[in-house]
Structure formats: structure tokens, C-alpha cells
Amino acid sequence: MEIRELSAKQMTEVYNQYMVIDFPQDELKPLERILHTMKTGLSCAYGIYGEDELRGYAVFVVPDGLRYGLLDYLAVIKEYRGAGIGHIFFELVGDTLSARYPALRGFLIESEDIAFAANDKERQIRERRIAFYQQNHCAMTTLGSRLFGVDYSILVYDFDKREDAKVTLEDLDSVYLAMFPKHHYENNVSLWEV
């Protein structure tokens, strides 16, 4: 298995063939926005390949010079789910990103807050998602966010796999300030530390 950076053309194919199926419409940014942030260097996209075939993909927001980026999207192609592709991704991604972004120490992950699940089924899905991240050396932080009305718990994946990585509210805020236009940030972003 290997991770390869996706070009704009490859990202367009991944978006149209997989992302529109893998993510709910209200969670999916417009393709034009993703391509624009790739072009400006704010984001990057990677494919996870086995035997020269796409097995999964990820999109990161990596503002220039920050200690932490953000895992914006991660999915394994449906027919390969349950085969350990996600675990392999986490084994490979640290070296890949740190080679490209020397200032980067890791990335943050937004996972929908368990406390705000609408029902038991949704709560179980959220718990499994967080457990997956934790199995892959991601640590829960004391940070939380509300973006466009959705509450998130924030995890961190430290490239050195330190579970005691100190992520600050400023680290998270810096990512959001780079991600969102000012009017969206001011009206739709809330952060806190517990």
C-alpha cells in the first residue's frame, strides 16, 4: 500500500465517483471549493493505493506554517471497507505529510460529539468512529467546536504518536480562521475547551 498525492483531475474523479456517495450532501463542500483550496495550497488530497488501484482517499486542510492541519475527509472505497485500509492510512500518513510540510506536527480531526446524537443508532456510529481514530493513535483533546450548528469533539493525530500532545484552542482557531471566509467564521464557528 502507498499514499499518493492527487492532482486536481484525480480529485475531480474521486469527488464525482465516490465523495458524492460517501458523504451526506450537507457535509460535502462543493468540488470547486476543494479544488480552489488545493490550487492555493490551503489543502491537499491523497489517494491510498494497493496494487495500483485506489482503495481510499483523504483531504487535508494544511494552512501554511501551522503546527496542526485538519483531516477534512477520509473514506475507504466501499468494496475495500473492513480490510484494514484505514489503519494502513494512519501508518503511512505521518511520514507523507511531514515530508511535505516540515512545520506540521500532526493534524486535528473533527468527530461529531456523542453527547448530541439524535438517537441510540447515531450515538453508536459516533462512538465507533471515535474508537477507530483512537485505535490509530489519535487522542481525544479537551477542545470542542460548533460549525454551522453541528457540535464536534476534537481529536489529534500527532506524527510522533504522542498521546499527550498538547493542542491548544489557538491551534484549532488558527485552522478555522484559514479555512473559512470571515463572515462564515464570525457567524458559524464557536470553539471551547473543557
Q: What average pLDDT does the segment 160-188 reach?
A: 91
- Scan for cell 460517501, then name that residue: 22
The C-alpha angle with vertex 149 and arms to 147 and 151, in degrees rounded to 5, equals 65
- Domain range holding 139? 2-193
pLDDT score for 111 = 95
**pLDDT exceeds cutoff 90 at 166:** no
Half-sphere exposure (Cβ direction) of 25: Cα atoms closer than 13 Å: 0
Separation CA 48–CA 50 (nearest Å): 7
**pLDDT exceeds cutoff 80 at 162:** no
Cell of 187: 457567524
Which of the four pLDDT bands, split at 50, 70 and 90, describes residue 164? confident
Q: What average pLDDT does the segment 177-188 reach?
A: 95
- Tens of pLDDT, residue by residue over 63-102, are 999 999 999 999 999 999 999 999 999 999 999 999 999 9
pLDDT score for 160 = 87
Separation CA 65–CA 142 (nearest Å): 23
Q: Which residues of 128-159 are buried (b: 16+ CB within 10 A; e: fewer)?
A: eebeebeebbbbebebbbebeeebbbbbbbbb
- Tens of pLDDT, residue by residue over 131-151, are 999 999 999 999 999 999 999
Q: Check if the beta carbon of residue 155 is closer than 8 Å to that of residue 132.
A: no
- Per DSSP, 69 falls in state E
The four Cα atoms 42, 78, 112, 7 give a dihedral, to 10 degrees, of: 0
pLDDT score for 165 = 78
How far apart, in Å, are the Cα atoms of 153 and each of 109, 157, 172?
8, 13, 12
**pLDDT exceeds cutoff 90 at 122:** yes
Question: Which residues is 139 bridged to in the sheet?
Answer: 156
- Tens of pLDDT, residue by residue over 37-70, are 999 999 999 999 999 999 999 999 999 999 999 9
* CATH code, domain with 189: 3.40.630.30
- % of the chain with per-residue pLDDT over 90: 93
Of 15-24, 122-131, 154-163, the one with minimum mean pLDDT is: 154-163
User: Closest Cα partner for 163 from 187, 131, 140?
Assistant: 140
Separation CA 67–CA 54 (nearest Å): 29
How many domains would you assign to the chain? 1
- Rounded to the nearest integer, the mean pLDDT of the chain is 94
